[in-house]
Chain A
Amino acid sequence: MSSTEQGTSSAAPAEPTTAPESAAAPEVPESFYYVHGKDKVVHKVSAGALQHSALIHGMISNLGYTEEQAKANPFPFENIDGDILQMVVDWCNQHKGKPTPPEDTNLPKQKEKLFDLVLAVNYLEIKELLTYCCKQVAMMVKGKSPEEIREIWMIPTDAEDEAAEKEAKKRAGKEAAGETAAAAGDAK
């Protein structure tokens, strides 16, 4: 059972739960779709929440799935970790049908997840969440010294860059030499 609101999930093929509805019931019954990440945990998400993702919105806009068809065909996002997809789904639910506030307090706070979150959000084309992630990354270095910035953003020094470049050239040279030797062997 997956509860996208509470962040608790179980592995598929368990029955997914419905995200809580907004207080005012919509006049037209809302349609739901199903997504899962690398961990196969299925999340049931309303079409309204999924509108935040340009990628998914484009996928579902002309499908016309029935509830059963949607349940039987969850969208697989195998390149996204389960906990990251959970964060994204949570965010989409929290911001369903609402203008996003300038200072979003619902952003995931775990910086160790930020990199994966950015990749997922970038892939799913969730523009507003991407903007917030960018802001969070940019704010990490405000008022910091160059040395602190280098540590926070893990920026290699010029010497490290040069060493890496030399190493890469050396490796490429060895590979090229190996390929030449192999080709010569084949010719014999």
Chain B
Amino acid sequence: MPIALLKFPNDFLREVFRLCDPFDLYKLSKCSKTCSQKATMLRDTKKWKIGFSALNNAAIWVDGSIYYFNQTDNPEDYFKTKNSGMNSTHMDVEFPIVDLFIYLVDTFGIRIVRIMGIGSDNFHNVLKVAQVLIDRRMEIESFRIFDVRKEQDVVNFMPLMKQMNIIQEFKCFLKFPPNFHFEFVKYPRHIYIDYSSWFTIDQLLDCTSAWIDLEKSSLNNHDLDVFLQKWKKKGTFPNLRWLEIGSEKIDDQSPILEMIPPIKNVTNPRKKVSINGGGYIIDGVRATKDDGTEGWLKVELGGWPILKFLV
């Protein structure tokens, strides 16, 4: 038995639309512009977050659940949903994926990208989506670069990335060519770079991130000593909570903060210091900033020398 929904009072409609998920509102947007506009306004969809994954699908994050929109060429599958557990549901739609992403952003007025990944399979789509994000000045909480077959494509993409407003996290798993160079305009809160030999000490000294994780780095004892000596000065690196450097160039030939690696506290009982977000150091050596702020340092040698510093 049909009911004339739009004749209901707005308070009631707001409650009805609150119970509608992004799939419902997407389908509603296909019914009528007027109804869709009312629904998106009353549902306050501007607070939703969108994502664009390396698997070439778009997703919306809302109320602790993820709604994946997957492109299909089979009309029989349009609007079919499938629950994949862990609070995630999939729906097949007719749009090409980039058009769909733009449609979702525009229809729901979304301003924040929860996560976006670049991989071999979606590279050309990411190029287009990145331009949309830049044009609309959207915030990107997390951006990840996975292993792309043609790394030169990503090298060419990086100037575009400079214009992207990445706020929370940048993760890079790609090994760039040896002559690669990139300067961040603005650092997100958390950076993780797997093949980080291109990330120089000058960049580290300018880095404003709270969480810095550089693996396969080319930084040496001297570089890290310079960094930590700077950290000890009042007012420097106010955001820093965690630094992790994996580098074959860390050795026992020169000091870091007046100590020759390996650096760990062996005299006291074992002590674990941890911070929110998962970082921890066991048997670290205390380092104190001029303003009294306490940090904990541990440097291990062996096959994979590593420095960990927690504030």
Contact = CB atoms under 8 A, between A and B. Distances in A.
Interface of A: 110-112, 114-115, 118-119, 122, 130-131, 133-135, 137-146, 149-158, 161
Interface residues of B, number: 29
A134 B3 contact: no
10 contacts: A119-B8, A133-B12, A137-B8, A138-B19, A141-B27, A145-B27, A149-B24, A149-B27, A152-B3, A153-B35
B107 to A, nearest CB: 13
Contacts of A139: 19
Interface in B71-105: 78-79, 81
B2 interface: yes
Q: Can you list the 9 inter-chain pairs with the closest CB atoms, starting with the nearest?
A: A138-B19, A146-B30, A153-B5, A111-B1, A134-B15, A154-B4, A150-B31, A146-B27, A155-B31
Contact of A156 (B30, B32, B81): B32
A118 B8 contact: yes
Contacts of B20: 138, 141
B138 interface: no
A135 B5 contact: no
A79 to B, nearest CB: 13
A119 B2 contact: no
B33 A131 contact: no
Contact of A111 (B3, B16, B18, B32): B3
B45 to A, nearest CB: 15
A155 B35 contact: yes
A115 B4 CA distance: 8
A89 to B, nearest CB: 20
Nearest to B79: A145
A130 B79 contact: no
Nearest to B8: A118
A141 B29 CA distance: 13
Contacts of A133: 12
A130 to B, nearest CB: 7
Contacts of B78: 145
B282 interface: no
B179 interface: no
A135 B27 contact: no
Given A143-B81, A150-B32, A153-B3, A138 B11 contact: no
A114 B33 CA distance: 25
B28 interface: yes
Contacts of B2: 151-154
A151 B15 CA distance: 20
Contacts of A114: 3
Q: Which of A140, A150, A153 has the most CB of B within 10 A?
A: A153
A115 B3 contact: yes
A142 B91 CA distance: 13
Given A122-B11, A134-B12, A146-B28, 6 more contacts: A112-B1, A134-B18, A135-B19, A145-B78, A152-B2, A152-B3
